[in-house]
Each structure stands twice: as structure tokens, then as C-alpha cells.
Structure 1
Amino acid sequence: MNKTQFYISILAFILSGFSVLGQTRKQLETERIKLQNEIKQVNSLLFNEQKKEKNALEDLNNLNQKIEVRNKLIYTINLEAKALSKEINGNEKEIKALNKKLSELKEDYADMIFKSYKSKSQQSKTMFLLSSQNFYQAYKRLEYMKQYTAFRKKQGEEISIQTSIVQKLNDSLLIQKKSKDRLLSAEKNEKSKIETDKKRKEFLIAAIKKKENSYKRDLRKKIAQEKDVAAKIDKIIRDAIAKANKKVKVKPKSTKKNEFILTPEAKALATKFELNKGKLPWPVKEGLVTRRFGVQAHPTIKGITVNSTGLHINTKKGVFAESVFNGKVLAIQLTSEGRKNVLVQHGNYITAYNNLESILVKKDDNVVTGQKIGKIFTDKVSGKTKLIFVLFKNTKRLNPSSWILKR
């Protein structure tokens, strides 16, 4: 391998190293941007609404969510800064090694130029050829002079290549150092903000303790209301399954209780729904999950357990819930508070869009992906606009987070 190929291979190795390191740092950068956007969403959807009354418990829940996201952001920034430091250290070592190689090249080239200068005159070249003992020797000497000239040219090119590599690394290093400075500044800023949030949190905790029994009563009342709504939806689905299965003349031997007997068309739709697991669109254009699926301890009040039937998604006032997949409106439920819940069937899968103020569909309507189902209710007291999105397979509730796109 000649020297030119050697330096080209060095450059290729360095660039491949950048891509490996850059991929890891790129993932961290993507995560950081995502968390920054999430904090903006938290501020927009949880803290900018107009409230008629203040609720310390709700404010604390919102603040805890913001602190949690901000902690993740600080951690991610720290990891990104460390990854960047590693790249910077690696680049500095490479620059040092390349500068050494460049210095050696220049010394060799200077020595060659000096020796060439001493015998550069055209007369000396002519005499060198004429002093040959025969034609073959003259030919060999001419070839030698051509090779020597080509070698000098190649040495100059190698120095140019090496200088370009060092310059690119220097430029990259400067950009990386500026990026690291910005990251450290961002980390400092986030730490300052989280300290302010923690002070606010302490104030809210003190306020809640004074009225803890009252908050517990209200929570238990809301949990009981949620259970009642969930039980009624469960009954609607069981009744719909029983009604649909009665119409089937020939029932498969494997038919189970509380499971739809699917027509070929319904089975095909269910299969398509399953194939889109993890790729279904969100039921709102913009939203923030404020309560996850499943049984969980209340984030603030000890001794209270919440069983979340689906995802609680806060969004902006005036936003409409949208169907996540093609289907048919199975049922519409009216709650005791006057809100509406719409159930859409997709074969043996059902999506429920709960806590709607008004609806744009009716029972047995066919709907398509992205179609508006209804306007989401905005609480005039809390100022919050919240959709409760529930997913079933027959009567079994599933975690919607595993089915919709990751944000």
C-alpha cells in the first residue's frame, strides 16, 4: 500500500468512527428534542388553561409530570454531553497523530526538494544521460528521472491530502466544542427551572395536607364514577356480542362466550387492525398522556389506587376525537354527567372515545381512519380538555400505548 492509499484509508476509518459515534449521539439528540417538545406540550396543555377554581391536587399532578419530563431531559442532555466529550477527545488524539504524520511528510519532502535543487540544472540532467555507457543505461536513467519527478508530485499530493484531513478534523472539533457549550448551558438552565418547580411542589404538598381528607373523598367519588361508566361500557359490548352472534346461523365449534363470531369481511378487517399494531394514529392531532393504562397508585395521595381503563389524553380546547382505523359505530353511550362515549368496532376489536361534548356520528355509521368522531369536552372548572381512549379485543381491555404510534 502506498502512502496516498494509507492516508485515504485513515480518513475512511475516521469517518466511519464518526458515523458510529454520531449514531449514538444522534439518538440522544433526537430524544432531547422530543423531551423539549414534551415540556412545551406540558406547559401548553396543563398550565395555560383558564381555570375557574384552583385545585392543588390537580396542580401537583401536573407539576409532577413536568418535573418527571424535565428530569429525563437533564439526564439525556448529560449523556449527550458525555458522548460529545468522548468524540472531542477522540478527535484531539487523531489530530495530534495526523499532525505528526504531516510534519514527517513535510520533512521528507523538504529534504527531497533540497537534494533535487542541488542537481536540478538542465545541464546536469543532460550530462547524466550523456555519460551513460550504452543506450540501455541511458534509457534506464531517463525512466528513473521520470519516476523521480512523479514521486515528487505524489509527495506534494499526499501533503495536500493530509493537510485537508487535519483541517476537516479541526473544523469538526470547533463545531463539537460549541455544541458541548450549548448543551452545558441548556443543562444549567433546566436545573434552574426544576429547582423552581420543586419549590412550587413543596408549597402544593403543604396545601394538600391541610385538606387531604376532602381530596380523598373527591377522588374516591371520581373513581366510583369511572367504574360505573366502565361497567356500563362492558355491558354494552357484551350485549352487542350476544346480539351479533344470534344472527349467525352456523356457529363454529370453537366459539367462546363474549367473543364475536366474525364474518369473512369482519375477520379481514380485524387482521388489518392487528397488522397495524404500533402504527395506529393517535385519536387526537395533538395530545399529552396524563394517565397511563392499568392499575396504578395515585401519583399524589397515598393509599388511593387507580385502575385506568385506557389512556387519558389532554389536548387543546375545541379539538375533535378522530377514529384510529376503519370501522363501524357500535354504540353511543350517554353518561350521567351528559357526556358522550362512542364505541367503534373493527372486527372483534373496539375503540372507545370517551368524554365527548358533542358527536358527529350515529350508531351503525361506517367511519374511516382519521374521521372526526366528536368534539372533546372541556371542563369549565379545571379548564382541561381530556379524551379517554380505550381499546378492547372482544371484552378484554388492551393497553392502547402498544397500538398507537410512539411520539
Structure 2
Amino acid sequence: MISLRANIEEYKLPAYSLIDFRSLILILLFLIFLPFSAVSQSRQELEKQRVKLQNEIKEINTLLFQSQKKEKTLLSDLSDIVQRIGVRTKLINTINEETNQLNIEIKENERQVRLLEERLEILKKDYANMVVQSYKSKTKNSRLMFLLSSESFLQAYKRLDYLKQYASYRARQGEEIKIETVKLENLTDYLVETRNEKEELIAINLKEKDSISEEKKSREGLVKSVKNKEKKYIAQINKKQKEEREIDAKVQKLIAEAIAKSNKESNVKSSGFALTPEAVALERDFISNKGKLPSPVERGVIVRRYGKQSHPTLKGITIESNGIFYATEKDANARVIFDGKVLAIQVLPGKKKAILVQHGNYISVYKNLDNVTVQKGDLVSTKQQLGKIHTDKSTGKTILAFVLFKEIHRQNPEEWVYKN
């Protein structure tokens, strides 16, 4: 009787020991999963960035590399390839970071697999010992005899409770082994999947490195060709910059005249337009959408950003951009970025046109259009088409120049338009 009680108590002791071990494992897993979840989130962001850069390269290939290589497009071709090399370099760096994150994740997974394997081994040994001890106890004394040999009813009740606890503990051990086995199988499968994903990234990275090596060779050849006629290209750039400044000055003058006219008609003095309550509300909505406004082209690649910047291919040459220049597909239409009213339609050199749309005291300008589908005074709604964008016959490129003003003061459109 004393021997059997000792056996029962012996079975209970491992239970307390196992609880302590289980708590330790849970703490370890918590500490492991805490940085792991942060890594996983960062990897998701990297994956999103990688897909974005891959799509950008596809757009560059489609929208910028349409013309045949000839002397009059050499500078443009060189600029295009420099842009593609820049994006591809970012892609390679992103893939490298993503691969590093995968390495961290794989190491964490491997550590968790080892922990689960050790835990499962302990559970199985504990369960096997329990089964053996249970078999031995059954051969020495039956459960009935164990209960009948009790000295009192209370003792018999306690012995029956011990037996129930023991049976319940054995059942829990069996279930826990099943659960841990499933966990281990799932984690092992995920580890295999992660390793495969790493191998795919390495393959993509090698392909991108091969591509960028070829592009750099092509760039070197173009640089030599451009260098031979550098003075000619610099003169062309300066002439183009002068034309852009003249056009922007005319746009500013046109806006200033419109402001003066609205103030005169309303008999007020202000640096901005005399706005109706409806126009004030529209401007408020426009400002609240800063950073979320749609692009003025449905599909496009930015080929020149806002502000002063070094020329992408000619060293020592600085260009100034009053807006964003988008390369888009042939026969594409410009679209308005927000609800507003057509303030003016301006004719540019070469019979191209610019449309000015008023959004309260903000004016969005869409330049380099062949024809327009709206008239002065028309009310337009977000993403409404304004006109077809001009395609240059020499380069084969379709470029929209997009400028944004607050009254007569230029704004950086990149701060207002949503970045995909």
C-alpha cells in the first residue's frame, strides 16, 4: 500500500517538474517570437518595396525604351539607362536586405525546431516511463485492491482521486505529444518554404546583377558618344531651360491677372482669389488630401523631379524643374488631380497647350498637351481627362509636365501626389 502510494506520488512529481519546464519553454518562445515578429513585419515591407521596384523597372522598359538609338536621342537614351540602373541598384539592395532578413528568420526557425524536438523528446520519455510504471503497478496490485485496502472511507476517496488525476494526466500527456508533433511538423514545413524563398531571391539577385552589368557597359558606350558632342548638348539644355522659364513666367502672370480680376470684381484686396464659400470648402478639401491626390497620368514614370538638380548625365550641369515630368504611354491623356474649375487654356510653342485648373487658391497646371477636351470655365472632377499628351517624334516619348501653384507661388507636387 505504501509502495503504491509512493508510485502515485512519483508520477505527480514529474508533473510539477514538467509544469516548470513548460513555463520555461513558454518564456523562451515568447522571447524568441518577440524579435521574430518584428523581423517578419520588416520583411513584409521589404517584399512590398521589391515588388514596387520590379514594377517600376517594367514601366521604365515600356515607357522609356521605345525609340531607336540615333544621334538626336543619345542624351535621352543615356538619361533613361542611368535611371534604370538607379532603380535596379535599389532593387538589388532591397533583395540583399530581404535575404538577410530571411537568414535571421531561418536561424530563428531552426532554433525553434530544436527546442520543440527537445521538448517532444522529454514528453515522450516522460510518457513512456509513466506507461511502464503504470503496467508495473497493475501487476502488483489491482486498482480495486488498492481502494479496498484503504483504512478509512476518506483514505479510499483520496486514493480514488489520485487514480483519476493520474489517468487524466496520462491522457493530457498523450494529447500534448500530438499537439507538439503537429507544431513541429508545421514549423519544419515553414522552414523548408522559407529556405526555398531565399533560394528564389538569390536567383533573382544574380539575374539583376547580370542585367546591371550589361547596362553599365551600354552606359559607358553612350557616355563616350555624348562626350564627343557635349557642348552641343549643353547648348540644347540651356535653350530648353530658357523656354521652360518663359512658359512658367507666362503662367504666373496669367494667374496673377486672374487673382487681380477676382479681387476687383468682389471689391476686396487680397494676395489670393476672392473665393466664394463653396470655393473655400473646396480648397479645404484639397488641402486635407495632401499626399493622397492621384497622379495626373494613369500610368507613368517620373523622369524629372521638382527643384534644382544635377543633370543625370552631364557633369557640372544643373537644371531647375518647376514641377514633375512624367513619361507615360503613347496617346495617354492627362487627368485632373482634384475637383476644380478650368481657369485658363494656354497655347505653348509648337502649338502645344497647357491647362490651368483652379482648386480655391491652388492651381494645378498640365503642360505639353496636343489637344484638350475641356474649355475655360468648365467644372472638372477628380481623374477627369483633360487632353491627349504630346509624343515627341524624335525620342518617341510621351511626357507630361505637371506644375502646382498656391496663388503665384510654386509648390513641390511630390508632396501632394500619392506615391504608389
Which TM bucket (shorter chain)? over 0.9
The residue aligned with 2:126 is 108
The residue aligned with 1:48 is 66
Give the SS at the match of 1:247: helix
Q: Equivalent of 1:140, from 158, 167, 192?
A: 158
Q: Distance in 2 between matches of 1:286 and 1:359?
A: 19
The residue aligned with 1:319 is 332
Q: Equivalent of 2:41, from 8, 11, 23?
A: 23
The residue aligned with 2:249 is 231
Range with bigger deviation, 16-25 or 289-298: 16-25
The residue aligned with 1:149 is 167
Give the RMSD, CA atoms, in angstroms: 2.0
Q: Which AA in structure 2 matches 1:389?
A: F
Give the SS at the match of 2:358: strand
The residue aligned with 1:395 is 408
Q: Which AA in structure 2 matches 1:63?
A: I
Q: Which AA in structure 2 matches 1:380?
A: K
The residue aligned with 1:242 is 260
Q: Distance in 2 between matches of 1:265 and 1:305?
A: 42
Q: Equivalent of 1:372, from 385, 391, 401?
A: 385
Offset of 1:107 from its aligned partner? 0.9
5+ residue gaps, structure 1, are none
Offset of 1:51 from its aligned partner? 7.3
The residue aligned with 2:297 is 284
Q: Equivalent of 1:341, from 354, 378, 388?
A: 354
Q: Equivalent of 2:237, from 195, 209, 219?
A: 219
Q: Which AA in structure 2 matches 1:34?
A: K
Report if the CA contact (8 A) 2:69-2:77 is conserved.
no
Q: Deviations over 1:74-122 (max 9, x none)?
A: 0000000001100111111121122111111111111111111112359
The residue aligned with 2:8 is none
Give the SS at the match of 1:318: coil
Q: Equivalent of 2:144, from 107, 122, 126?
A: 126
Q: Deviations over 1:194-217 (max 9, x none)?
A: 000000000000001111111112
Q: Distance in 2 between matches of 1:360 and 1:185?
A: 48
Structure-to-structure mapping, 1:129-208, within 5 angstroms: 129-208=147-226
Report if the CA contact (8 A) 2:354-2:366 is conserved.
yes
Q: Equivalent of 2:89, from 71, 96, 105?
A: 71
5+ residue gaps, structure 2, are 1-15
Q: Which AA in structure 1 matches 2:325?
A: H
Q: Deviations over 1:368-389 (max 9, x none)?
A: 1111100000111110001001
Q: Distance in 1 between matches of 2:161 and 2:21?
A: 22
Q: Distance in 2 between matches of 1:199 and 1:170?
A: 44
Q: Distance in 1 between matches of 2:239 and 2:289?
A: 37
CA distance change for structure 1 residues 385 and 336 in 2, over 3 Å: closer, same or farther? Answer: same
Q: Which AA in structure 2 matches 1:375?
A: K
Q: Which AA in structure 1 matches 2:364?
A: T
> How many residues are paired up?
402
Q: Which AA in structure 2 matches 1:156?
A: G
Q: Distance in 2 between matches of 1:243 and 1:262?
A: 12
Report if the CA contact (8 A) 2:32-2:108 is conserved.
no
Give the SS at the match of 1:300: coil
Q: Deviations over 1:40-70 (max 9, x none)?
A: 0000000134678652111110000000000
Q: Distance in 1 between matches of 2:259 and 2:66?
A: 43
The residue aligned with 1:301 is 314
Offset of 1:265 from its aligned partner? 2.0
Report if the CA contact (8 A) 2:47-2:98 is conserved.
yes
Q: Which AA in structure 1 matches 2:58?
A: K
Q: Distance in 2 between matches of 1:223 and 1:250?
A: 37
- TM-score, normalised relative to structure 2: 0.91
Q: Distance in 2 between matches of 1:122 and 1:289?
A: 86
Query: What percent identity do the matched residue pairs reach?
Result: 48
Offset of 1:284 from its aligned partner? 0.9
Structure number having the greater helix percentage: 2
Q: Which AA in structure 2 matches 1:320?
A: N
Give the SS at the match of 2:159: helix
Give the SS at the match of 2:259: helix
Report if the CA contact (8 A) 2:345-2:353 is conserved.
yes
The residue aligned with 2:100 is 82
- TM-score, normalised relative to structure 1: 0.94
Report if the CA contact (8 A) 2:310-2:316 is conserved.
yes
